[in-house]
Structure 1
Amino acid sequence: MNPTFQNFDLATSLSAFIRRMTSVTVKFWTRSGDGWALLVDVFVLMPTLKYISSSVDDIRYTLDSNTVLFVLTDGVYVMFSDFPLQTDIFDNGFSRTPSASALNRLRSSASLAEDAAGGPLEKSSSYEAIMRLNTLDECIGDAERTRLAVQADMDEVLKRNRRVLQLVLGERQQEVALAYKRNALAVEGRRLKEAEQVRDDARLQIRRRREQLLAGRAALNAGRAEHARAQDEFADDRLELDSLAFELAKERRRVCTDLQKLYPIEPILDKTLAFSIRGVELPNTAYEGFDEDKLGTALGYTAHLVYLMAYYLGVKLRYPIYPSSLRSYVFDPISVLQGPRAFPLWPKGSVYYRFEYGVFLLNKDIEQLMNSQSLLVIDLRHTLPNLKCLLLALDAQQ
């Protein structure tokens, strides 16, 4: 019969002291009649077990009937009594079943090992692992012996041929040194050619730069001479320009003086800041109840006078004036407006707010003329007083 029993885990079911014991008692019970009877009672010393295979399927031996197999973590083991072809490793290699004395020695050795270790023996390595290590150690020893033998042979050969080897080595060293020097010479030759090419290019650039510098120096000298001549001409032209500007300003002031004679502005004695132009009174902004024909005539004279002064003084008015006696008007080209941009300077028959805006633009032109002569406007609404002040300032500059 080949019964198979259920596995049990020693690691969880038993304590560490029991798991590390080196001996175990195996008992097999069988049913006999109405009860159970003890069939096998054997004491097993674990170090005496024989390793036969890594697994049950790999066993290549013919086992007896009812052989007890111990399946451990590292392989399958049997007792010596269950495996006939064994070597008594305890009695110097004789092929027989271990004797009682050998078993006693194993028990004593296991007990002494446990006592020396202070407890049960620990599992170290399997038989298969130990055999692999043994084989590997033998291979390493053979390789070491072979290496030493080869080394000794090579040392002997080197001793016999030391002189020849030194000559060959010296020749090889000389060849390597010569090849290195030749390579270095070739590299230096290429670097020398590159340096010569750079030198030739630099010389060519220097020669071109020298030619450019000579040409530039000649042009600079010519430019300096031309600049000196132009400076002399500029100085003469500046003097002439200053003289012409002085004469022009003088002539402009003279013309403005003549304009003052053509359009005389005189104060009215019984009124404050009241002036008349060519004998026609022009009030300062307060036009209610004033004769509209006289007002249009005075504003026409004033517009014509401002137009002529702007022309002779060289001032371009922002709000151009178109004098036409009683029908003079001012044009506004810059403001944002709806409708016509021409504003009348006569009140009779015109929209009054457009007439007032036209007078305002006329006063702004007078302010522009005064600013051109560095004069300050105190009150923009005083048309004739501001104009009289401008004429007097021009007359005083003569």
Structure 2
Amino acid sequence: MSNLAEPRRPQVAAQNRKLRHLKGLSLRNLCLGRTASTSPDALSFLGENRLQQLVGDVFFSLHLKCEAEPVYVSELRHRSANFDFRFFDLASQPPAISRSPLVVVRVWATRPGRSEWIFVLDDVVDLRRLNFIRSLVGRRFPPNALVFHLDDGLYSLDFAAQAGEAKKNPPVAGSSYGSLMKLANLEASIRDALDTRDDLVAQIDVVLAQSPVDATDAALHDVERVQKYVTKQRRAISQAESRRHQLRASLAARRAAMTHGRQVQALAETEMTARRQALATEKALLDRTADLIHGQRRRICSDLTEIFPITPEREDTTAPPLSFRICNLALPNSRYDAATADEDILSAALGLAALLARHLQLYLCYPLPYPLCPYGSRSLARDDISHLTDARNAHHHHPHHQHHHHLHHLHHSNRPRREFPLYLPRGGSTTGQWRFEYGWFLLNKDIEALCASQSLRVVDIRHTLPNLKYLLYVCSAGSRDLPDRHKGGVRGLWAGHVRPTPLRSVDEHGAPASTSLSPSPSPPSSSPSSSPALVRSAGRDDAKMTLRTQGLREDVAG
């Protein structure tokens, strides 16, 4: 039979069991009926609910029979009837404890939710009388049964010992009586040496307590510590004084700055008081000037309405709605038939619309996003905003007059052409037709921008003349009378200050002459209506130039 099948037997003889062999303790079937206390509270506690009597919170303590202080106190286990406490080790205790075969076990318990503790057990256990049990399985323990965990197994007082078959081991040689006596004498000598050491330590402590204390080292240490503290405080005082000087200087500078600021503030208040009256006058002048500017803008827009009359289309009965004429020249709303459209009339009407838009940008103080170059029926619109591709392969030639000779160089340059014509191309060029339509679109965008500057909403930007007429109507509207026009001309155009640009001189009767201010040939003026005639006053060496404005509106109207 193998060793595993042999019954387990204790390894330590019963007479050799000591407290150092005890490793743990278990409690089975907690019952508070067997209590050592006969107080009325404990008896009333036993009559409570049976379910509450089956569980409790328990801890135990181990004592020697002759001592009241516990040798070991276990942890507290909660809400159970069977308890397995944590293992412990008593081998490191003094010999009087670790070699004792007797131990007193005291068990304390309480019910959950109650503060009263009940003294459950107080048993004196002789470890030599414990009975060996192999396992806890399959056993019915009596109430408050104690199970002892020793080095070689489980023991209890409530069950008979189970004798096992003796092992048939070969005899082993043991120690002789002399050797055991030598070990006992050696242990006694070691115990006497430890006791002597403890006595010497106690005597030394008594001597040290009775002898006077030498405070020299402590005093030197205190002096050194005080000196370090004094040095540190002196350094802190120096830093505080430096900081105080800095703050005083800063406060003095701030006081001076505050004094200067008060003086400046008083001077500013004095000047403000003196200028309040002037400010009121300037505000009144500003309001009056703004009112005058508004009135002059109304008058100018009214004059432009008469100079560039925009009338509904009445001659052509097949014309679509919102068709208008400018200066009796029909201009469709960005839709036309290239086959039947009159190139001269369409180009001239677009030139007049461009000229009117250019004048409005000056009078309304709003620059056009796309500059316009009004040259009559050969007007242009420039786009400096959009990203244009190179148009060298899309050149098309148009017959121009002599005063448009500089446009040929622009059309044949290597850079993208940013000027777009406001006149119909000739020759049926697709690129030229697209550039004309894009130029017309730029003109409509300029008119839309002018309307937006006056907070006007444009329904359709393709309506060129309706939008212009709407803008002129709103700008010239008002409840007050139109201001009078200033009579006379603009003085101060001296011959020496005028650029050498071609001028159309007039004689005494207003007839144009061929004289100019510069002998070099120059292109003619851009527009007859936008280039006023200059009159040279005779009888002085320094030629005095004046702007003739009399009869201008009559000439345009004629």
TM-score of Structure 1 vs Structure 2, range by shorter chain: 0.5 to 0.7
Find 2:212's aligned residue among 170, 188, 207: 170
Q: Secondary structure at the match of 2:384?
A: coil
- Aligned position for 2:496: none
Q: Deviation digits for residues 306-344 of structure 1, max 9, x if unmatched?
A: 111112222221221111011112122233444233222
Kindly state the Cα deviation for residue 387 of structure 1 after the two structures are TM-superposed: 0.7
> What amino acid is aligned across from residue 324 of structure 1 in structure 2?
Y
Higher alpha-carbon deviation: 372-381 or 327-336: 327-336
Find 1:344's aligned residue among 421, 436, 448: 421
Distance, in Å, in 2 between the alignment partners of 1:235 and 1:285 is 51
Kindly state the Cα deviation for residue 223 of structure 1 after the two structures are TM-superposed: 5.8
Higher alpha-carbon deviation: 188-197 or 360-369: 188-197
Q: Secondary structure at the match of 2:333?
A: coil
Kindly state the Cα deviation for residue 355 of structure 1 after the two structures are TM-superposed: 2.3
1:355 aligns with 2:406: no
Q: Secondary structure at the match of 1:170?
A: coil
Change (3 A) 1:370 1:226: farther
Change (3 A) 1:238 1:224: farther
Distance, in Å, in 1 between the alignment partners of 2:170 and 2:382 is 123
Distance, in Å, in 1 between the alignment partners of 2:176 and 2:307 is 140
Distance, in Å, in 2 between the alignment partners of 1:301 and 1:157 is 128
Q: Deviation digits for residues 159-198 of structure 1, max 9, x if unmatched?
A: 9xx6xx767x3241x4355345434533442343244234
Kindly state the Cα deviation for residue 214 of structure 1 after the two structures are TM-superposed: 1.8
Kindly state the Cα deviation for residue 276 of structure 1 after the two structures are TM-superposed: 2.3
Distance, in Å, in 1 between the alignment partners of 2:331 and 2:351 is 11
- Aligned position for 1:315: 366
Change (3 A) 1:153 1:277: closer
Distance, in Å, in 1 between the alignment partners of 2:219 and 2:385 is 96
Distance, in Å, in 1 between the alignment partners of 2:454 and 2:204 is 121
- Aligned position for 1:277: 326
**Mapping of 1:268-307 within 5 angstroms?**
268-269=313-314, 272-288=321-337, 289-307=340-358
User: 8 Å contact 1:332–1:341 — kept in the other structure?
Assistant: yes
Distance, in Å, in 1 between the alignment partners of 2:170 and 2:231 is 75
Q: Deviation digits for residues 336-355 of structure 1, max 9, x if unmatched?
A: 44423322222252633332
**Mapping of 1:131-142 within 5 angstroms?**
135=182, 137-142=184-189
**Mapping of 1:179-190 within 5 angstroms?**
179=220, 181-190=222-231
Distance, in Å, in 1 between the alignment partners of 2:358 and 2:197 is 128
1:395 aligns with 2:460: no
Q: Secondary structure at the match of 1:374?
A: coil
User: 8 Å contact 2:301–2:472 — kept in the other structure?
Assistant: yes
User: 8 Å contact 1:274–1:284 — kept in the other structure?
Assistant: yes
Distance, in Å, in 1 between the alignment partners of 2:201 and 2:371 is 122
Aligned-residue sequence identity (percent) comes to: 30
Kindly state the Cα deviation for residue 367 of structure 1 after the two structures are TM-superposed: 0.9
Change (3 A) 1:145 1:313: same
Change (3 A) 1:354 1:146: closer
User: 8 Å contact 1:343–1:357 — kept in the other structure?
Assistant: yes
Task: Judging by fraction of residues, say which structure has more helix.
Answer: 1
Q: Deviation digits for residues 233-264 of structure 1, max 9, x if unmatched?
A: 89566666555544444434433333333222
Give 1 or 2 for the bigger CA radius of gyration. Answer: 1
Distance, in Å, in 2 between the alignment partners of 1:321 and 1:157 is 118
Kindly state the Cα deviation for residue 213 of structure 1 after the two structures are TM-superposed: 2.7
Residue correspondences, number: 285
1:203 aligns with 2:252: no
Distance, in Å, in 2 between the alignment partners of 1:124 and 1:216 is 112
1:266 aligns with 2:311: yes
Change (3 A) 1:280 1:157: closer
Higher alpha-carbon deviation: 257-266 or 267-276: 267-276
User: 8 Å contact 2:326–2:352 — kept in the other structure?
Assistant: yes
With structure 1 as the length reference, what TM-score do the two structures score? 0.57
- Aligned position for 2:16: none
Distance, in Å, in 2 between the alignment partners of 1:327 and 1:303 is 11
1:193 aligns with 2:240: no
Change (3 A) 1:383 1:142: same
Kindly state the Cα deviation for residue 365 of structure 1 after the two structures are TM-superposed: 1.0
Distance, in Å, in 2 between the alignment partners of 1:157 and 1:396 is 122
Kindly state the Cα deviation for residue 203 of structure 1 after the two structures are TM-superposed: 1.6
Q: Secondary structure at the match of 1:281?
A: strand
**Mapping of 1:1-398 within 5 angstroms?**
119=166, 127=174, 135=182, 137-146=184-193, 169-172=211-214, 174-175=215-216, 178-179=219-220, 181-218=222-259, 220-221=261-262, 224-225=265-266, 229=271, 244-269=289-314, 272-288=321-337, 289-338=340-389, 339=391, 340-347=417-424, 349=426, 351-397=432-478
Q: Deviation digits for residues 128-186 of structure 1, max 9, x if unmatched?
A: 69977765543443344456567778988999xx6xx767x3241x4355345434533
Q: Secondary structure at the match of 1:378?
A: coil
Coordinate RMSD, CA, aligned: 4.4
Kindly state the Cα deviation for residue 384 of structure 1 after the two structures are TM-superposed: 1.4
Change (3 A) 1:211 1:301: same
Change (3 A) 1:148 1:327: closer
Higher alpha-carbon deviation: 247-256 or 147-156: 147-156
With structure 2 as the length reference, what TM-score do the two structures score? 0.42
Distance, in Å, in 1 between the alignment partners of 2:249 and 2:170 is 95
Kindly state the Cα deviation for residue 369 of structure 1 after the two structures are TM-superposed: 0.6
Change (3 A) 1:381 1:139: same
Structure 1: gaps of 5 or more residues? 1-9, 21-115
Kindly state the Cα deviation for residue 394 of structure 1 after the two structures are TM-superposed: 1.0
